[in-house]
Amino acid sequence: MKVISVKNVCFGYDAKPFIRDVSFSVGRGEVFGFLGPSGAGKSTLQKILTGLLTGYHGDVSVCGVDMRHRNPSFYERIGVDFEFPTLYEKLTARENLEFFGSLYKKKARPALESLEMVGLELDADKKVGAFSKGMKSRLNFAKAIAHDPDVLFLDEPTSGLDPANSRQMKDIIRSERDLGKAIILTTHNMHDAAELCDRVAFIVDGSVRALDTPRNLMLSRGAAKIRYSWIAEDGEGGCARESWGETILSGTGADSRLRELIGSGKLVSIHSQEPSLEDIFMDVTGRGLA
């Protein structure tokens, strides 16, 4: 079931085209990634999808609502976590969640429950002005999902987080997806995208250059390879050194050296190598993510 539908959308600033003929859809229980360098159009697309920009051409619907004809009740159904937190720094974490939760008709989950989910329960009564960047990021995320929205818009949700908190955040995103939410994830982090997204769109200069699952994109650009090593004796005196070989995964049976190493027990290591999502992005677009 489509929750988000975008067809032939174009948008420009000062009569100059910026978003060019973008089309995609997102279903229930799907994480869809916008990937691209700064200035590519990712944030502009998010603003169109959340109703902040309306002067576009084409068709956009979210939760069955034509974005040109949305009303305040539309915002009951979405949660937004932009990269820069929107919090009241003179209020405590608990007070922030209670205040923002009171803005919705639907009863929000208890503030302490939300804080426990993101690991901030011990800081519930601390003023947000004293929070670190990572703590504010986690609180902002808790605010975005407290009213149990149908659609989540997440912008760099793991930015500024240490590995443990980043892992916790990813686990929550997966849990929200498993509950049937449609999730738009905007990120520069290709590792996060490959780990979290069911499908991704490469966006450069306001247009979609590629759209598929991370796995399919990686497999579409060059065959997977096997890299292996063994200890070889180098010259007179028998100085041992590690040597490396490489072969296409589908051709391992024809690699006589690899077969010999396996048979003699001299194989030291073996690793599969596939293009990363960032490799594919640079190959498809000719651009980095800076």
**Residue spans per domain, the chain:** 2-219, 224-274
pLDDT score, position 134: 92
pLDDT score, position 15: 67
Q: What is the full DSSP assignment across 93-162?
A: HHHHHHHHHTTSSSPPPPHHHHHHHTT-GGGTTSBGGG--HHHHHHHHHHHHHTT--SEEEEESTTTT--
Beta bridge partners, 171, equal: none
pLDDT score, position 104: 94
Fold topology of 2-219: Rossmann fold (3.40.50)
pLDDT score, position 1: 79
Nearest to 84 by CA among 156, 174, 169, 187: 156
User: What pLDDT, in 10s, does the model give residues 242-254?
Assistant: 888 888 777 788 8
pLDDT score, position 234: 63
User: What pLDDT, in 10s, does the model give residues 98-147?
Assistant: 999 999 998 999 999 999 999 999 999 999 999 999 999 999 999 999 99
pLDDT score, position 290: 55
pLDDT score, position 288: 59
Rounded to two decimals, what is the model's pTM? 0.82
The span from the CA of 229 to the CA of 208, in Å, is: 40
* Regions of the chain where pLDDT drops below 50: none
Backbone angles phi, psi at 88, to 5 degrees: -90, 110
pLDDT score, position 98: 97
